[in-house]
Amino acid sequence: MNSNSIPVITIDGPSGSGKGTLARALADRLGWSLLDSGALYRIIGAQCLSRGINFDDETAVADLAQVLDIRFVGTAVWVEGLNMTEEIRTEDAGVNASRVAHWPAVRDAVLGLQRSFLQAPGLIADGRDMGTVVFPDAALKFFLDASAQERAERRYKQLKNKGLSVSLRGLLEQIQERDARDRERAVAPLKPARDALVVDSTSMSIELVLEEVMAEVSKRGLNLVQ
């Protein structure tokens, strides 16, 4: 199978919409590879911090993005031989990711790496611009949305369950700020591709979202790709 005929399903949407969970569940069900593109921007943000690179220095951030040795092993993320799986999952890491991600040169620097995840039998690509920029010819595109209030509440429960003390209002403000930066940037802003199916998960369980998405996948015979 040449890479042009390997199918891609893109799942874009704002933070906390459930797309990460959905993308992993879909990749498991279909036995396809998974690209968590947000993790790449989180890694770049975290590495800028530890190396003292200013988020506002587009060239320095892009130069760094080009040389980092990044490996995904199952659910673990290794960078320059260090396990960064937990470190990149914090709220701050998400905010820093969004700050480095608005630079065009940084996005260009990770384009090839993102496309290299395309492997038979197929790829599930999770992010903000998977259907609009990185895989515009994807076989199927979803845009998973949910109200900011609902996304903040979901995150609040997750963090509480981990024993962390957080404020719901603070989380909501952070989500709204990050949404605005991701939606309003000039390059590859967060928005549904013209041919994306928009799913509003505000009052849906992740199981229900997965069933709805699987129905679309089956309708197109993508569940039969070997």
- Residues that contact ligand DC, how many (by CB under 6 A): 14
* Interface stretch with ligand DC, choices 23-31, 55-63, 96-104, 115-123 (CB under 6 A): 96-104
Distance CA 123, CA 118 (A): 6
Computed over its alpha carbons, how large is the radius of gyration of the chain?
Answer: 17
Per rule CB under 6 A, is residue 129 in the interface with ligand DC?
yes
Closest residue to ligand DC using C-beta atoms: 38
Per rule CB under 6 A, is residue 98 in the interface with ligand DC?
yes
Per rule CB under 6 A, is residue 101 in the interface with ligand DC?
yes
- Tokens 């959905």 belong to 22
* Interface stretch with ligand DC, choices 3-11, 66-74, 92-100, 204-212 (CB under 6 A): 92-100
Which structure tokens are listed for 35? 């690209």
Residue type, position 102, single letter? H
Residues 42-61 that bind ligand DC (CB under 6 A): 42
Per rule CB under 6 A, is residue 62 in the interface with ligand DC?
no
Q: Which is nearer to ligand DC, 106 or 225 (CB)?
A: 106
Residue 109 to residues 33, 44, 58, 143, Cα–Cα distance (Å): 21, 11, 11, 24
- Tokens 């979803």 belong to 142
Of 71, 63, 138, nearest to 108 by C-alpha is 63
CB of residue 141 to ligand DC, shortest distance in Å = 13
- Tokens 């530890």 belong to 50
Give the strand pairing for 140-145 and 197-200: parallel
Q: Which is nearer to ligand DC, 36 or 225 (CB)?
A: 36
Taking CB under 6 A as the criterion, the residue among 44, 61, 97, 210 binding ligand DC is 97
Which structure tokens are listed for 79? 């960078």
Residue type, position 13, single letter? G
Distance CA 39, CA 87 (A): 11
* Interface stretch with ligand DC, choices 38-46, 52-60, 68-76, 136-144 (CB under 6 A): 38-46
Per rule CB under 6 A, is residue 15 in the interface with ligand DC?
yes
Per rule CB under 6 A, is residue 154 in the interface with ligand DC?
no
Q: Which residues bind to ligand DC, rule: CB under 6 A?
A: 15, 37-38, 41-42, 94, 97-98, 101, 127-129, 178, 182
